[in-house]
Chain A
Amino acid sequence: MTVSKNSGNLVEHLLAGDRRAAARLITMVENETDDHHEIMRRIYPNTGHAMILGVTGAAGVGKSSLTDHVIGKLREQGKTVGVVLVDPSSPFTGGAFLGDRIRLQRHARDEGVFIRSMASRGYLGGLSRATYDVIRIIEAMGRDVIIVETLGAGQDEIDVIHIAQTCLLVVTPGMGDDIQAMKAGLMEVAHIVVLNKADLEGTDTCLRHLQATMDVARFDEGAWVPRIVATVSVASKREHIQGLDELMAAIAEHQEYLHKNEAIDRVKFQRIEQELGLIFKDALQKLVLKGLKGTGKKKKYIQKIMEGKSDPYSVVEEVMKTYILSREERQT
Chain B
Amino acid sequence: MSKKRKKRIKVLITKVGLDGHDRGAKVIASLLKEAGMEVIYLGMYQTPEGIVKTAMDEDVDVIGVSYLSGEHLVFTPKIVEEMRKNNLDDVLLIAGGTFPVEDIPTMEEMGIDRVFRAGTLSGEIMEYINKNVRES
Contact = CB atoms under 8 A, between A and B. Distances in A.
Interface string A165-188: 000000000000000000000000
Interface stretch (B3-11, B68-76, B98-106, B117-125): B3-11
Interface of B: 1-8, 10, 29-30, 32-43, 46-47, 49-50, 53-54, 56-59, 86-87, 136
B39 A96 contact: yes
A154 to B, nearest CB: 24
Contact of B8 (A23, A116, A121): A121
Contact of B1 (A33, A94, A95, A105): A33
Given A105-B46, A108-B53, A98 B38 contact: yes
21 contacts: A5-B1, A19-B56, A19-B57, A20-B86, A23-B58, A31-B5, A32-B4, A33-B1, A93-B36, A95-B32, A95-B34, A95-B36, A96-B33, A96-B38, A97-B39, A101-B58, A109-B47, A109-B49, A109-B53, A115-B57, A117-B38
A108 B58 contact: no
A90 interface: yes
Given A101-B42, A109-B53, 16 more contacts: A20-B87, A22-B57, A23-B57, A27-B59, A31-B4, A33-B3, A33-B4, A90-B36, A93-B35, A96-B39, A97-B30, A97-B39, A97-B41, A99-B39, A117-B40, A117-B58
A213 interface: no
Closest 7 CB pairs of A and B: A95-B33, A23-B59, A108-B50, A95-B36, A93-B36, A27-B59, A94-B36
Interface in A132-182: none
Contacts of B8: 94-96, 119, 121
B83 to A, nearest CB: 12
B4 A3 contact: no
Contacts of B4: 31-34
Interface string A84-115: 00000110011111110110010011000011
A35 interface: yes
A28 B1 contact: yes
Main secondary structure of the interface of A (DSSP, over half): mixed
A30 B46 CA distance: 27
Contacts of B36: 90, 93-95
| Chain A interface category by residue count | 35 or more
A97 B6 contact: no
A108 B12 CA distance: 14
A7 interface: yes
B42 A97 contact: no
Contact of B42 (A19, A89, A102, A116): A102
Contacts of A23: 56-59
B87 A3 contact: yes
Contacts of B32: 95
A121 B86 CA distance: 28
A230 interface: no
A101 B49 contact: no
A140 B20 CA distance: 39
A5 B56 contact: no
B47 to A, nearest CB: 8
A186 to B, nearest CB: 28
Contacts of A117: 38, 40, 58
B127 to A, nearest CB: 16
A19 B55 CA distance: 12
Contacts of A228: none
Contacts of A33: 1-4
Contacts of B56: 19-20, 23
